[in-house]
Structure 1
Amino acid sequence: MSNVIDDKVTKFFNDNKKALENPIVKGFLSNKNNYELLVRAITEPSKMNREKVDQAFTEHYKKVKKIKYISNLIRFFSIDFDKKIRKLNQRFLLTLDQPLAEDNNVSMKDLLMDTNTSINVFEQRSLKDQIENERLYRALDVLTQKQVLILEMIYVNNLTLREIANILDSTPQNVSNLHRKALEKLKKEIS
């Protein structure tokens, strides 16, 4: 009798192999109780057993749909929240970042950072002050002033290539090339 039951179950699984590959069906059958309900419905086919499997699958499917819905809600809410914050940050710039007049792009920050003015609000930290390795410290003397300045802006002041390009009145590509060449010189000098 057991062989007949096993044969029925095996035949059912072989006949419905493609349907059983569905992730929802796999999840349903991964639950031991659901699996036993299905085997009972196959081995003892009756309306009651079939309805039990249908009811269990319906509950499982509703649960999967709810989880999918909530996960999509969270995903899209976080995307919308990020857009909203980015929009607010662009709309309400910090006072120092805003242009002083409509017709020019000079901001209070630019004036404060200008080396020609006697007021220097921002703390000036040197790249050499940050380096503890003696060989690297000596290797910095090989670089040009512009290369050292770019390294300071990148590694000490944490500026982006675009910000550095704006300060130096250059292009981000040129700044990137100078940065790369400076690193290559340092590597050559150290090794």
Structure 2
Amino acid sequence: MVDTQFKNPLLKAFLEEIEHLELYRQYCKSPNEWLKKIIDERFVQFYIRIRAIAYFSKIIYFTARHFDMERRKYEKRYVLTLDSSSNDGIGSKNEGTGTLKELIVDESATINFHERLNHELNQYIQHPLLYKAVQSLNKRQQQILYLAFVMNISDTEISKKLNVTQQAISKSKNNALAKVRRLINA
């Protein structure tokens, strides 16, 4: 579509826009000052837009490079203790090639974190009236409410954990909530 007589990439890009190309073709057919002035104004606007895009692209590029260099310099200067080398000069040269983080052995990592938490729903209630209402529930209802609302476990998962049906969990939870509502509204 663009005439092949132009080798300048800026002119080629300018003439790739259909409106500019039509103006140029009209000027070639019948040259006059009015068309020349319009083409010149459009080219100036196009050039300013291209320069602005190039300017912002360079700013973004160099700002990102500067940020990355500063971040790397900071990370190199302030290495986290666990990320530093475990080589403390003791032992053979083959030892200590890893980080301190790799040397940490945690046998309790196999225990689920949530299982180590206190399973008492009462520990999470601050409102005195609600606390009293929850105290009136049986242990199973308290356990179901704890798993559902504190641990955010679905009824299906609770039923698997407690070896009962999902319907039984749902019914027990709804009964417990109804009882709590009655006691609070009384």
Shorter-chain TM-score range = 0.3 to 0.5
Question: TM-score, normalised to structure 2's length?
Answer: 0.45
Greater percentage in helix: 1
Question: TM-score, normalised to structure 1's length?
Answer: 0.44
Who wins on radius of gyration, i.e. which is larger?
A: 2
